[in-house]
Amino acid sequence: MKKILASAALALMCLTLGAQKYNGLIDKTVAVIGGEFVSLSDIEQEVQTMRARGYASDQNLRCEILENILQTKLLLMQARVDSLSVNKEMVGAQLNQHIDEIRTALGGDEKVEEYFGKPLYKLRQEWNRQFEEMSLTQQEQQEIAKKIPEITPYDIRQYVDTADVANLPVIPTKYQMSQICVYPDVEAAKLAAKEKLLELRERVINGEKFSTLARLYSDDTESARRGGELGMASKTIFWPEFSDAAMSLKVGMVSNTVETPDGFHLIQVIEKKGDMFNARHILIKPKYTSADREKAFARLDSLRALIDTTDITFEMAARMYSEDKASKTNGGQMADPMTGSAYFDKDQIKPADWAVVRNLRPGDISEPVESTDNEGRGNLVYKIIRLDKIVDSHAASFETDYNDLYSTVEHLKQVEAINKFIDDKIKETHIVIDPMFKDCDFSRSGWSEKIRK
């Protein structure tokens, strides 16, 4: 179903507007579906968008785009028959994010209007319609999926028994781990960062160039190369604390210290237009000393020795001494913050953690390691890790991987139902496709039968 959703989204989202030449034609209707029309310009708009994504612009691409558009039209027509309504709040949020990203990429409202050759209000109307249609298309697919009977253990057993072993889902090797964490002296590091920024602010006020100091001292290496300049961007692109501080400044002024999840900033506004601004900044992240590391490692070594030589278990030590609130209550057991699962694929394990886990056997406890936690973009933390269990890669089985198989069977049935709906609608809907697409190798044979003779 994800592929079908992606195809619908692809057919709806156009960034380049305006008719394109196609074999000498400026524009014409190339397909009629129900009461809807598809024009050459609709297809060429998508071609340019996909070109920007690295796709080769050939006739096969145009065939694929036409098929996606027609498929989307069928779903939209049914959505209207079913009286589905657009989630205005969600569409509004998606539209605003879309526009802000484009304004930021192109450098402001005037650049957007110049690039697309249309006023922003007109673009907003067109993009809003596209997002509304996407919302209806996705809802209709969900409505079709809802009609699938509930998946039963019998369905899953039947799938496992009848599927080719080579086609069964492969469950990757998974790791279950526990940890005891110790944080460095955060307050001391924050204080040092603030003091550094106060010193730099004083130097700017006394006449030194902000851009020069940004190049020398900013921890944002990308913007530091440009003298700290971020470029004209919507305020929604940045952390709220950063945007609020920047928008409150007059051009040329330098802010006081601003704290965000990235660290501490000095901000100097270069230009403001409406809710967009261009600013320079100097980022200083809290830094920790070798003494912090040695102190934390010594403490973790002591806890590791305590677990090895006494009756205190790893779980007990985690509950008593770990400073990671999320895992300490579970005896240190780590869990994926997104899914809550206690099992991790290799790619889900932080690189610093994997560097020690890869050499452990189940039951082993690692040496102390410097890593990051799951807060914000990751705070520095020191830890010891116990590898609790390894579940080797294997073909999914009914006995051990029921949940994975449930998801697979559910997905297959959803795709089957949506495909059947589309195939049936092709047969019963008035559709005429221009002969210029007669050589297309459509994925559904029903489209070829609709080509005008």
Residues 350-365 have pLDDT tens digits of 999 999 999 999 999 9
The H or E element containing residue 123 is helix 120-146
Report whether 156 contacts 406 (CB < 8 A). Answer: yes
Helix runs in 208-310, H state only: 210-217, 221-224, 240-248, 290-309
The H or E element containing residue 391 is strand 380-391
pLDDT recorded at residue 185:
87
- The fold of 174-184+289-392 is Chitinase A; domain 3 (3.10.50)
Q: Using CA atoms of 236, 241, 247, 248 in order, give the dihedral in degrees to the nearest 10.
A: 160
Please give the CATH number for the structural domain made up of 187-284: 3.10.50.40
pLDDT recorded at residue 103:
82
Q: How confident is the model at residue 50 (pLDDT cuts 50, 70, 90)?
A: low
pLDDT recorded at residue 79:
92
Query: How would you label 393-406 residue by residue, b for 16+ Cβ within 10 Å and e otherwise?
Result: eeebeeeebeeebb
pLDDT recorded at residue 282:
96
pLDDT recorded at residue 224:
93
For residues 264 and 276, give the distance between their C-alpha atoms in angstroms, rounded to a whole number. 21
Beta strand pairing call for 431-433 and 29-33: antiparallel
For residues 163 and 157, give the distance between their C-alpha atoms in angstroms, rounded to a whole number. 10
Report whether 9 contacts 27 (CB < 8 A). Answer: no
Q: How confident is the model at residue 148 (pLDDT cuts 50, 70, 90)?
A: very high
pLDDT recorded at residue 329:
93
pLDDT recorded at residue 206:
94
Longest dimension (CA), the chain: 86
Average pLDDT over residues 242-270: 93
Please give the CATH number for the structural domain made up of 2-150+411-448: 1.10.4030.10
Report whether 55 contacts 92 (CB < 8 A). Answer: no
Residue 167 class from Cβ within 10 Å (0-12 exposed, 13-18 middle, 19+ buried)?
A: exposed
For residues 246 and 85, give the distance between their C-alpha atoms in angstroms, rounded to a whole number. 39
pLDDT recorded at residue 376:
65
Residue 25 scores a pLDDT above 90: no
pLDDT recorded at residue 203:
95
pTM: 0.65
For residues 339 and 346, give the distance between their C-alpha atoms in angstroms, rounded to a whole number. 15
DSSP per-residue letters across 154-185: HHHHHHHHHS-GGGSPEEPPEEEEEEEEE---
Q: How confident is the model at residue 49 (pLDDT cuts 50, 70, 90)?
A: low
Domain boundaries for CATH 3.10.50.40 within the chain: 174-184+289-392, 187-284
Q: How confident is the model at residue 19 (pLDDT cuts 50, 70, 90)?
A: very low
pLDDT recorded at residue 36:
86
Average pLDDT over residues 209-218: 95
Residues 134-147 have pLDDT tens digits of 899 999 999 999 99
Average pLDDT over residues 222-248: 91
Residues 281-337 have pLDDT tens digits of 999 998 888 888 999 999 999 999 999 999 899 999 999 999 999 899 999 999 988
Average pLDDT over residues 97-123: 83
Calculate what percentage of the chain has a pLDDT beyond 90: 59
Average pLDDT, the chain: 87
Report whether 447 contacts 67 (CB < 8 A). Answer: yes
Residue 117 scores a pLDDT above 90: no
Of residues 302 and 27, more confidence is placed in 302
For residues 383 and 310, give the distance between their C-alpha atoms in angstroms, rounded to a whole number. 20
Q: Which of 105-114, 254-263, 290-299, 328-337 has the lowest mean pLDDT?
A: 105-114
Residue 11 scores a pLDDT above 70: no
pLDDT recorded at residue 56:
62
Report whether 326 contacts 338 (CB < 8 A). Answer: no
pLDDT recorded at residue 57:
55
pLDDT recorded at residue 51:
59
Using the Cα atoms of residue 412, residue 415, residue 419 and residue 420 in order, give the sign of their dihedral. positive
Tokens of 205: 């006020």
For residues 291 and 159, give the distance between their C-alpha atoms in angstroms, rounded to a whole number. 58
